[in-house]
Amino acid sequence: MFETAAHADGSELTSSAGDRHTTVVIVGTVDDHALIGRLASEVLATRFNIDLRVVEIAAEALRNEVDLAVHSGARVVIDVDSRSGRIDSLFVDPTTHVVTLKVSLEAQPMPALEPVLALRTTEFVRATLIGFALPEPDALLSPISSDRTVRSRGLVGMSFGIAGAEGGLRAQGEVGLQLRLLGTSFGGFQLLVLAPVTQEPVGGAAATNAMASVWLGGGDAFVRGRLRHEASVEVGLGAVAVAMRVTGDPSAGWTGGTKTGLGAGAYVRIGGGVALTRSLTARIDLVVGGVPLRPVASAGGPTTYPWGYGFGVALAGIEARVF
């Protein structure tokens, strides 16, 4: 059921019966909250000081938090990964801040085995540090990883939705590609490209089969906040470029072909996401804006079809973390 792997170099753990700051740091992501809670309860029962480090769902932030704990005086750093059913315990020399012993416990990733995994990890930690003083437990701390441990991350998403505007053309189906860069846990930048999957007819004498399609591309800077550990909301402000393409065959007595009109404007975006796994997030985005410089479709008739001034886009899709 369990597999144990221990690695140690020639250094020995230093014992100090008068040490009143023996600290066990438990590091994990928001997905590991159930196993972290069981492990914290077991460690608290041993009367060690305990510090919880809960980070966002990002491997880079998790590695940074482990390194920070190793070099900030922690005696033991416990790295939790409930999805793989694995707990790594790193024993650190308090003088040199070098990891002198690493123990890994693994089990099938199922809730029924989490209490056993937490208990066996705690027993090994207590047995290894039995020569140290067991201080009264301090107040339980649960700090979210600070900005300095979260580096820029890249996310790529694909979404589907509709885009519509004033001017006479009906809303069109769109497929979108999003590239998002998260500079900190509070904001970042997004690039968005939307390509049409449907077309709308343009009436006029010049062509009986004229059809219009709309492309959009833009970018925004956004701020974000968390509703719960696995959910977040964003508000962004950005600029957009619009290309409206009209295709069709000319009617008798008319000449011409495909034409593309360009426009530009600004928008406000409100979005939200719910983490499905450590690397996948389901997203919804609503975009509302204006196009002062608007493209106009015409097929030679008295009626024209401008795209704008006001417009709106609704999107839903999936994004994945790529770096």
The CATH number for 136's domain is 3.40.50.800
More confident residue, 231 or 195: 195
- pLDDT classification of 117: cutoffs 50, 70, 90: confident
Summarize pLDDT for 146-164 with one digit per residue, the tens. 444 344 478 999 999 999 9
- Which carries the bigger pLDDT value, residue 184 or residue 103? 103
One domain, residues 185 and 315: yes
Choose the final residue of a domain: 101, 121, 149. Answer: 149
**Residues 176 and 280 both lie in one domain:** yes
Q: Is the full-model pTM beyond 0.85?
A: no
Judgement on whether residues 219 and 252 belong to the same structural domain of the protein: yes
Examine the fold and report which residue of 113, 131, 149 is the final residue of a domain before the chain moves on: 149
Same domain, 159 and 295: yes
And the tokens for 167? 């001017």
Which of 101, 119, 149 is the last residue before a domain boundary? Answer: 149
Q: Average pLDDT in the 20-47 region?
A: 81
Contact 278, 139 (CB under 8 A): no
Residues 6 or more apart whose CB falls under 8 angstroms from that of 23 comprise 48, 49, 50, 51, 73, 74, 75, 76
Asked if 125 contacts 76 with a C-beta cutoff of 8 angstroms, the reply is yes
Question: 185: phi > 0 → left, psi -120 to 50 → alpha, else beta; which?
Answer: alpha
Domains of the chain: total: 2
Look at residue 193 and give its three-state secondary structure: strand
DSSP string, 35-91: HHHHHHHHHHHTT-EEEEEEE-S-HHHHHHHHHHHHTTT-SEEEEEETTTTEEEEEE
Question: According to the model, what pLDDT value does residue 163 have?
Answer: 96
For residue 132, what pLDDT is reported?
46
**pLDDT tens-digit profile of 41-50?**
888 887 888 8
CATH number where 283 lies: 2.40.160.20
Domain that holds residue 61: 3-149
The label of the residue with tokens 């077991």 reads 42
Tell me if 59 sits within 8 A of 150, measured CB to CB.
no
